[in-house]
Amino acid sequence: MRDEIKAAIEAILFMRGDRVGVEELVEILDVPLLELRDLMRELIGEYFQPGRGLQIIPVDDGYLMCTKSEYSEILARSVRPVKRRLSQAALETLALIAYQQPVTRAELERTRGVKVDRVITNLLERGLIEEVGVKEVVGKPILYGTTQEFLRMYGLTSLRDLPQLEE
């Protein structure tokens, strides 16, 4: 029984890969708080063994599973930049901005039919788009355009290189 709960805790901490609060663990596992704390102590001790590359550390009344610091060098070597594709939502918004720039958020939302706030933040953070001015209408909305980084990534020398689309 204790083994099962410990195993479940391990699985939860692993899956989340982030701090999980004590109250949340108590609720998910349906065990008394004192017992949980007891189990956690045991579990932390087990991870402390040599031969284990992971550790569980208490953080802000919660617990976090992470790698032991001894292995930071080897891990640094193995950090392959995570390859990611843009989400479809981001890709569609980026395509719209590329072809219709400069363009405001409201215009993008009208065309896509969905909110684009989060996608825009994401594209800004990745340096694919930037604010290029404001539109001279009521509210002075920000205009967005693609960046130099966008051209570089897509192997374009200028926006004129974007393939013409049949109307």
Partner 1 sequence: MTYLVDIEAFHGPLDLLLFLIEKNELDVYDIPIAFITDQYLQYLETTGEFDLENMGEFLVMATYLLNLKSRLLLPQSNNTTEDIEDAIDPREELVQKLLDYKRYKTAAIELQQRETGLTERIFYREVSSEPGREEELIVDLSSLIRAYRTVMRRLPVAEPEAVIPEGDVSVNDKMDQIMVFLADNDGKTSFKHLFTIVSTRREALALFLALLELIRLQKVRATQNIPWEDIQLEMW
Interface contacts to a copy of itself, rule CB under 8 A: 2-4, 6-12, 14-17, 20, 24, 28-29, 50-54, 65, 67-68, 70-71, 74-75, 77-80, 85, 87-89, 114, 124-125, 127, 130-131
Please report whether residue 3 would count as binding partner 1 according to CB under 8 A. no
Among 7, 33, 106, 153, binds partner 1 (CB under 8 A): 153
Cα radius of gyration rounded to whole Å, the chain: 24
64 contact partners, CB below 8 Å, separation of at least 6: 13, 18, 19, 20, 56, 57, 58
Residue 33 parent element (H or E) = helix 33-48
Q: Which among partner 1, a copy of itself, none contacts residue 135 (Cβ within 5 to 8 A by kind)?
A: none
Q: How far is the CB of 58 from a copy of itself (least distance, A)?
A: 18
Q: Name which of 7 and 57 has its Cβ closer to partner 1.
A: 57
CA 157 to chain centre: 30
Each residue of 63-85: b (16+ CB within 10 Å) or e? bbbeeeeeeeeeeeeeeeeeeee
Q: How far is CA 15 from CA 19, 69, 71, 134, 159, in A?
A: 11, 20, 21, 43, 43
For residue 102, cis peptide bond before it (omega within 30 degrees of 0)? yes
Among 23, 35, 70, 106, binds partner 1 (CB under 8 A): 70
* Binding mask of the shown chain, residues 85 to 104, with x at each position contacting partner 1 by CB under 8 A: xx-xx-xx-xxx-xx-----
Whether residue 108 contacts residue 139, with contact meaning beta carbons closer than 8 Å, is answered with no
Q: Name which of 49 and 80 has its Cβ closer to partner 1.
A: 80
Contact residues for partner 1, defined by CB under 8 A: 11, 14-18, 55, 57, 64-70, 72-77, 79-86, 88-89, 91-92, 94-96, 98-99, 111-115, 117, 121, 124, 126, 131, 134, 142, 152-158, 160, 162-163, 165-166
